[in-house]
Chain A
């Protein structure tokens, strides 16, 4: 049955180079696209951008047909899809048990995780640039059809802030994926975090004066939301830095430590 001979086993150790991080990252990037679910998640970025653009052209009032309206409409689905991509990139190794192979081919888990973060951020930045570009097309087409003036009301600095805001959503997905290492649990956790927590925090802020003053310092969603609105003040950057450290960086480091020590079965 064997038509191909086995390689001659080398008596002496071949000169083997350490697997470079760039290669791990490239493979991890490929793994984000090469399954049916992965492919459709990626495709949904394009589909969502196009649908949002068309919907804005059709349904937005003519006076609102500005670039910011398009950027916002296209940017919103990204804050849902990108974290899902980031979550699944991490949790798949456990949920699908492919980690048995991944972590034996690269027996340093923090390197694999770093590669996954780089790959996710790459996808995130590319998606956001794509979304902003589609917004430009939408704005040109929409205003031409409506016969209104072209309004470019998003500065480069604001666009950068929007991309940063989306990447924070994506990295929150990465953190939750690392923390729970299970696709359904991490996805549910993300939606609780992104949908439920802001509502509760908002209610609390309207009823409790004490909390209202505290909110910018403790509510990551709230601190992050200003990135989408416009450029930030110094105080707002400080709020963002504190909340990101407490709710994103710290849990991520704890999760990373758990991941490196845990057993892969």
Chain B
């Protein structure tokens, strides 16, 4: 379990991470989502002691990272797959981690096999690796100590679709065995398919967090019926807030099941009933718009 409490980082007068608090729980994949420059990497560096927080802190299983006696055995970290000496072979980098953690040498070929790096690839210098191969090596280094917590910054970057699928299955499996996974991404879709919990961050602040299912549900329901006015009245009479979207459909702030029941009790025929899409996406786009070029042009 990773607990982040009131973590903040200021550079001079600029606040990069602004009082964030959240918990990444065991047995779940927590997605740390935000546009580029939102403060994800800085937050992750603070969790593992590479950057000093201005205030607040993070604990892993109740202890500060620096207090872990052999951190690699408890927390697997990959912050930047490219941050390796280009002159070392993949096998050598993995071996250095294995030796530093005091693990048996058989862990090295095991991990290479786990991340599907061939013997020939492992003996090449990392300078010649593709980004995808570096990500696989980084995952191998993170997992070699058999940790119960994983902290991964943009692990899917540079992976091909099959690689992304592989990574997703690996992390799912890891969480299902009781592991804690915190991974960051600037891509909503990536987080949506893998995460159980989502922490969304923009300009250093948490703008939304919770279970993915709840965040998606919070977007409400889109509904159409033969008699739209009667439908609207019935929904309002049940205490729901409604509005029309630009397609002329009604949006209600409840689950589709609730809306369906209201319609049946009022004897109204429905022509469409579904979860409103993109509640998270709207929020995310809004965030991105504040920082992206498209947003400024618009």
A residues contacting B by CB (< 8 A) are 1-4, 6-11, 13-14, 16-19, 23-24, 26-27, 30-31, 34-38, 92, 96-101, 103-108, 261, 263-265
- Complex: how many Å from CA A92 to CA B86? 10
* Residues from chain A with Cβ under 8 Å of B68 in the complex: 16, 107
Chain B residues 46 to 90 lying within 8 A of chain A, measured CB to CB, are 48-52, 61, 65-66, 68-75, 77, 79-80, 82-88
- B129 interface residue, CB < 8 Å from A? no
B49 to chain A, nearest CB (A): 4
Q: Which of A1, A9, A100 contacts B79 (CB 8 A)?
A: A100
User: If A6-B170, A104-B50 touch, does A13 touch B100 (CB 8 Å cutoff)?
Assistant: no
Pairs across A and B, CB under 8 Å, 8 listed: A9-B179, A10-B148, A11-B178, A23-B99, A27-B99, A101-B141, A104-B48, A263-B45
Contact of A105 among B92, B101, B110 (CB under 8 A): B101
Is A4's CB under 8 angstroms from B73's CB? Answer: no
- Residues of B in contact with A (beta carbons under 8 Å apart): 45, 48-52, 61, 65-66, 68-75, 77, 79-80, 82-88, 92-93, 96-97, 99-102, 110, 113-114, 116, 125, 141, 143, 146, 148, 162, 166, 169-170, 173-174, 177-179
Collect the chain A residues with CB atoms within 8 Å of residue B52's CB.
261, 263
- Is the Cβ of B102 less than 8 Å from the Cβ of A108? no
B114 touches A4 (CB 8 A): yes
3 nearest CB pairs, A to B? A35-B87, A97-B83, A18-B69
* A100 B97 Cβ-Cβ under 8 A: no
| Structural contact, A107 and B100, CB atoms closer than 8 A | no
Contacts of B87 in A (CB 8 A): 35-38, 96
Min CB distance B279 to A, Å, is: 32
Query: Do A34 and B92 contact each other (CB < 8 Å), given the known contacts A3-B113, A4-B110, A9-B177?
Result: yes
Taking a contact as CB atoms closer than 8 A, the residue among B48, B51, B61 that contacts A13 in the complex is B61
**Given that A6-B143, A9-B177, A104-B49 are contacting pairs, would A97 and B82 also be in contact in the complex, using a CB cutoff of 8 Å?**
yes
Contact in complex: B51, A23 (CB < 8 Å): no
Would you call B84 and A98 a contact (CB within 8 A)? yes
Distance between Cα atoms of A103 and B84 in the complex (Å): 13
List A contacts of B49 (CB < 8 A): 103-104, 107
| Nearest chain A CB to B44 CB, angstrom units | 10
**Once the chains bind, are A35 and B177 in contact (CB under 8 Å)?**
no
CA distance A123 to B146 in the complex (A): 33
The answer to whether A92 and B85 have CB atoms under 8 Å apart is yes
Taking a contact as CB atoms under 8 Å apart, the answer to whether A107 and B48 are in contact is yes
Task: Using A19-B100, A107-B48 as known contacts, say yes or no to A2 and B174 having CB atoms under 8 A apart.
Answer: no
Contact B96 A27 (CB under 8 A): yes
Knowing A2-B169, A9-B179, A265-B45, say if A16 contacts B174 (CB, 8 Å). Answer: no
Nearest-Cβ distance from residue B164 to partner chain A, whole angstroms: 12
| B110 CB contacts on chain A under 8 angstroms | 4
CB distance A14 to B73 under 8 Å? yes
CB distance from A184 to the nearest CB of B (A): 16
Distance from B208 Cβ to chain A, minimum over Cβ atoms (Å): 28
Known interface pairs A31-B96, A100-B79. Does A105 touch B173 (Cβ–Cβ under 8 Å)? Answer: no
B133 to chain A, nearest CB (A): 14
B86 touches which of A10, A96, A108 (Cβ 8 Å): A96
A6 touches B173 (CB 8 A): yes
Interfacial chain B residues near A99, Cβ < 8 Å: 83
